[in-house]
Chains A and B, each alone.
Chain A
Amino acid sequence: MTALAETPPRPAREGPGGRLSDALWRRPRVLLALLLGPPLLWLGVVYLGSLFALLAQSFFSIDEFSGRIDRTLTLRTYGELLRPANLDIIWRTVAMAAAVTVASVAIAFPIAYYAARYARGRWKAVFYLGIMLPLWSSYLVKVYAWKLILAKEGIVGWGFESVGLGWLLNAFLAVPGIGGNSLSVSPTGTFLVFVYVWLPFMILPIQAALERVPPSLVEAAGDLGATPAQTFRTVLWPLALPGVVAGSIFTFSLTLGDYIIPQIIGTSARFIGLAVYQYQGTAGNIPLAAAFAVVPILIMGVYLYVARRMGAFDAL
C-alpha cells in the first residue's frame, strides 16, 4: 500500500526520441501523414502515373511508313484494335480467362472449405505449405515442367497409354478448338497450366471468406430443413462470394495479362499479353500495345461492376 503510494510519477522521457514520440502522440495527424505519405506517393506517382502515361499512349498513333509515333490525339489506334484479327485475340483471351477462373473456383472451393472448417493445428500448417510451396519455385521452371508433363511422350500420355486409354486421349486431342498434336501444343494444355499456376490465388481468398462463416450457420441451415446442397446454395456460396470474387480478380486478370504461358505451352495463337509484348517490343507499335493493355482494365471494370450489382459484396 505505502510502497505504491510512494512511487514517484513516471518521469518524463529523456532525449530526442522521447520528445519525438511525445510530440507525435499529441499530433496524431502528423503521424498518420508520415506513415501514409511514402506509400501514397509511390502508388500515386510511380504506379498510377506510369499507368496513365501508358493509357495516354493509346490515343497516339503510329506512322505506317516511318514507324514514328505521331503525338496527336486520335482514336485511330482503337480502330485498329477492332480489326477482326485483334478482336480474335481479345475473344480468345477472355474465353480462356473465364474458363480458367471457373475451373479454379471449382477446384479451390472444396480445398478451401476443408482448410477453413476441418483443418486444425498441424494440418492447417500442411495446408498452407501445400498451397504456398508451388509459389516458391520459379514460374518458368513450373511452366517448362508442365511442357514435359504434357508432351506427347510425357507422363500424362504415358499414363493414358499404360491403362489402355490412349485412344481416349487421342480422340480428345482430335476435337478442334481444344485439341492439338499433343496436350502441350493444345489450348487444353494452356488452360491446364493456367489453372495450376493461378490456383493458390483462388484458394486463399475463398479460405479466408469461409473462415469467417461460423459453423453454427451451416448447422442452422440444416436445422431449418436445408439439405447440404441447399445449404451450399443459400448460405455458404453467398457468404463465400466476396472471397470468390477476390480470387477471380486474381485468376482473371493474371490470365488476361500473362504472355509467357501461351508462348511455351499451346498453339501459336496469340493472347492479349503476348500481343502487348510483341507490339511494344519487336513491332515498336507502342500505341497499339497500350490500346491492348486498356482491354483487361475495361474488362475487369465491367466484371467488378456486374459482380457488385449481383450482390457479390453484400456479405462484406
Chain B
Amino acid sequence: MNPAVSFRGVSRHFGEVRAVDGVDLDIAEGEFFAMLGPSGSGKTTCLRLIAGFETPTAGDIRLFGESVAGLPPYRRAVNTVFQDYALFPHLSVVDNVAYGLMIAGVPKAERRRRAEEALAMMALPGYGSRRPSELSGGQRQRVALARALVNRPRVLLLDEPLGALDLKLREQMQDELKALQRKVGITFVFVTHDQGEALSMADRVAVFNEGRIQQVGTPAEVYGRPRTRFVADFVGSSNVLPPALTALFGGPPKWASLRPEALRLRPPEGAPIIGTVQGARYLGASTRLVVDLGTGPAPEDRADIAVLLPGGEPVPQPGARVGLTWEPAALHVMGAA
C-alpha cells in the first residue's frame, strides 16, 4: 500500500535560508503523525508543502503514491486546520463549515445538513447562525476542524491547532482530537512545538531541527532512545551526558541520555555516585532536583544532573550531599553525535 504522504529528498529554500533541507519521510494511511520541533525547524514548512502553499525547491512529494508537483492547493485531497483557524469573518459558522461543499457544488440543502452534522460531531449544535467573532477560542478551533473534516479529506493537516488555547482546554482538546482521529480514521499530520502534546497524541513523531529530521519513531522510541543529542534535549527534559559522565554511570565513553525519573536518591554512604543538591523546583506531582556531580568548586568542574523526585518523598535542602542510583537499562547511549 502506498503511504498517505511521502517525501523524497524534499528541500525548500528561501534565499539563503534552508527551511527544509533534504527531508525523506513516509506517513502511513490512518496514522496520527506529529511533526515536532522548535520554531524555525521546518515543520510548518513541511506541512505547507503537503497542503500546496509552498512548492519544494528540490525533491518529490507524493500523496497516496501520486506526485503532487505542480498541483495547486485546491486540487489536493487534503484539508488544513490553520494556526489562527482562518475562519471567514463575513460568513456564519454554518456557512464557514459548508464553504468547501459550496465550492464543490453540493446543493444547498445537502450541504447545510452535512455542515450541521459536522457541527454536531464537534459538540457545537445550534451554533450555526453565529459569526466566528462571537465564539470562544475553543469553539473556533472546533469550527475549523468541522470545516476541514466535512470535506472528507484523505489527509488532515493541523498547524499548531492547540497553540492558542489555555492549558485546561488544550488537554481536553488533545483527548478529543485523538478520539476524533480514531473515529474518522483519516490520516492526521500534526505540527507542534510542544513535546508533551506530540508524545501523548501521536502514533509516530518526527523530530525536526534546522530543516532536517533528527529522528522518526513512536513516542516511546523518541523519548526513550533518542538518536541525537538534540532529540534527547528537546523531547522531554532528559539529562544529556557527555562521554566522561556516561562513563561515570557505567556506560561506554560516548554521549548518552538519562531520564530524570530513572534516577533515585539514597543516602550518600556507599553510594556509587555522590553529589551536592543545587536546587529544587516543585512541579506538583513531583519535584525536580538539580544535583552537582562535579569534582571541585570551580564552575568548570560542575556537572549538573536532574533528578525527578516522586511526590511524597522528602526533598533535601540545597547543599545537602546525596547518593544516586539508577536503572542501568535507562542509560541510552546515542549512536550519532
Q: Which residues of A contact B (CB under 8 A)?
A: 214, 216-217, 219-227, 230, 234-235, 238-239, 314-315
Closest to B100 in A: A224
A239 in contact with B90 (CB, 8 Å): yes
Partner of A223 from B79, B83, B104 at Cβ < 8 Å? B79
Closest to A217 in B: B86
- Bound complex: CA A186 to CA B83 (Å): 55
A225 in contact with B151 (CB, 8 Å): yes
Q: Which residues of B contact A (CB under 8 A)?
A: 51-53, 72-74, 78-80, 82-84, 86-90, 99-100, 102-104, 147-148, 151
> Closest 8 interchain pairs by CB?
A224-B100, A220-B86, A216-B86, A222-B73, A315-B90, A225-B103, A223-B80, A238-B90
Closest to A226 in B: B103
Closest to B82 in A: A216
Partner of B74 from A214, A217, A226, A314 at Cβ < 8 Å? A226
B82 in contact with A219 (CB, 8 Å): yes
In the complex, which residues of chain A have a beta carbon less than 8 angstroms from the beta carbon of B82? 216, 219-220
- Bound complex: CA A220 to CA B79 (Å): 9
A222 in contact with B72 (CB, 8 Å): yes
Partner of B90 from A219, A220, A223, A314 at Cβ < 8 Å? A314
- Give chain A nearest CB distance to B151 CB in angstroms: 7
A223 in contact with B103 (CB, 8 Å): no
Query: Which residue, B74, B83, B99, has most C-beta atoms of chain A within 10 A?
Result: B74
Name 10 interchain pairs, CB-CB below 8 A, sorted by A.
A219-B80, A223-B148, A224-B74, A224-B100, A224-B147, A225-B103, A225-B104, A238-B90, A314-B90, A315-B89
In the complex, which residues of chain B have a beta carbon less than 8 angstroms from the beta carbon of A230? 103
In the complex, which residues of chain B have a beta carbon less than 8 angstroms from the beta carbon of A235? 88
- Bound complex: CA A239 to CA B132 (Å): 14
Closest to A239 in B: B90
In the complex, which residues of chain B have a beta carbon less than 8 angstroms from the beta carbon of A314? 90
- Give chain A nearest CB distance to B67 CB in angstroms: 19
- Give chain A nearest CB distance to B267 CB in angstroms: 39
In the complex, which residues of chain A have a beta carbon less than 8 angstroms from the beta carbon of B87? 220
Partner of B89 from A224, A225, A239 at Cβ < 8 Å? A239
- Give chain A nearest CB distance to B179 CB in angstroms: 24
- Give chain B nearest CB distance to A228 CB in angstroms: 8
- Give chain A nearest CB distance to B135 CB in angstroms: 16
In the complex, which residues of chain A have a beta carbon less than 8 angstroms from the beta carbon of B86? 214, 216-217, 219-220
- Give chain A nearest CB distance to B303 CB in angstroms: 34
B53 in contact with A225 (CB, 8 Å): no
Closest to A238 in B: B90
- Give chain A nearest CB distance to B156 CB in angstroms: 11
B88 in contact with A223 (CB, 8 Å): no
- Known contacts A216-B84, A234-B103, A238-B90; 20 additional CB pairs below 8 A are A219-B53, A219-B80, A219-B82, A220-B80, A220-B82, A220-B86, A220-B88, A221-B88, A222-B73, A222-B74, A223-B51, A223-B53, A223-B79, A224-B74, A225-B103, A225-B104, A226-B74, A227-B74, A230-B103, A315-B89
Closest to A222 in B: B73
Contact of A219 with B73 at beta-carbon distance under 8 Å, contacts A224-B151, A238-B90 already known:
yes
